[in-house]
């Protein structure tokens, strides 16, 4: 079973420019040499060639308590070569972004605790759905007018969902993402698979492994790294012993 990590968070106003720089490795993040590819799609005409214009407008014009973007991180299989993982990232955008404006960046870092590469994709997705109406940047992010849509902004894809509905959406997204990753693994001849279910749902009794991320790993001492790796290996062995696999 390959490692699986899927995380979705709401971006906050004022953080957009810095987050774009972070995932695309610009500015103070340029010294990191783990960027493999960055692409964007579904942008309005005024940001078609430069997605940063869209994100800056979202940060400026989105309503005060609204999120200018969804921040998604998905682990990619290190069994796939970089070109295959970029192809997989494109496929993942089709299922998690759909027709919404998005930008993604694929990173392959070498800060894994167990000495393996750590490929993953960062995605920024806007909830503002396209509807065929051309709007200026400031109008794009206004409140949607269902009676006269040309007078208001784009409708939000997440609008009207309560807490339980949002939870169900995240759970269904986890499965769709896992299915997409497994399809890529099968396509390229690998037997590895990922599982979106919790350890309890899989019948495993150990505690879930904490996703530390490259930044946290770089701050850990050698002793902390060895301890964490030992705990992971012990937990996996216990699982195999219990299940006979």
Q: Which residues are catalytic?
A: 22
The answer to whether 180 and 92 have CB atoms below 8 angstroms apart is yes
Pair 55, 20: CB distance under 8 Å = yes
Q: With contact defined as beta carbons under 8 Å apart, do 130 and 42 qualify?
A: yes
How far is the C-alpha of 109 from the C-alpha of 212, rounded, in Å? 13
What is the separation, in whole angstroms, between the first and last Cα of the chain? 11
Q: How far apart are CA 119 and CA 2, in angstroms?
A: 12
Closest CA to 119 of 4, 1, 208, 235: 4
Q: What is the DSSP string of 174-188?
A: HHHHHHHHHHHHHHT
3-state helix, strand, coil in the chain (%, to 5): 40, 15, 45
């Amino acid at each position: 079973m390959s490692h699986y990590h899927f995380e979705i968070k709401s971006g906050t106003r004022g953080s957009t420019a810095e987050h774009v720089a972070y995932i695309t490795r610009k500015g103070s993040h340029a010294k990191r040499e783990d960027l493999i590819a960055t692409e964007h799609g579904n942008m309005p005409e005024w940001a078609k060639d430069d997605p940063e214009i869209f994100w800056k407008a979202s940060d400026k014009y989105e309503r005060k308590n609204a999120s200018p973007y969804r921040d998604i991180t998905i682990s990619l299989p290190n069994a796939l070569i970089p070109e295959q993982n970029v192809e997989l990232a494109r496929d993942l955008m089709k299922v998690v972004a759909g027709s919404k404006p998005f930008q993604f960046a694929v990173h392959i870092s070498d800060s894994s605790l167990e000495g393996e590469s750590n490929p993953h994709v960062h995605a920024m997705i806007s909830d503002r759905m396209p509807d065929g109406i051309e709007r200026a940047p400031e109008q794009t992010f206004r409140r949607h007018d269902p009676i006269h849509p040309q007078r208001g902004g784009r409708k939000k894809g997440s609008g009207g969902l309560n807490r339980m509905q949002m939870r169900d959406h995240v759970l269904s997204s986890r499965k769709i993402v896992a299915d997409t990753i497994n399809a890529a693994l099968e396509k390229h001849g690998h037997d590895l698979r990922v599982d979106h279910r919790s350890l309890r749902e899989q019948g495993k009794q150990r505690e879930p492994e904490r996703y530390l991320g490259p930044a946290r790993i770089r701050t850990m001492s050698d002793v902390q790294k060895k301890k964490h790796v030992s705990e992971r290996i012990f937990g996996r062995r216990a699982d195999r012993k219990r299940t006979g696999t």
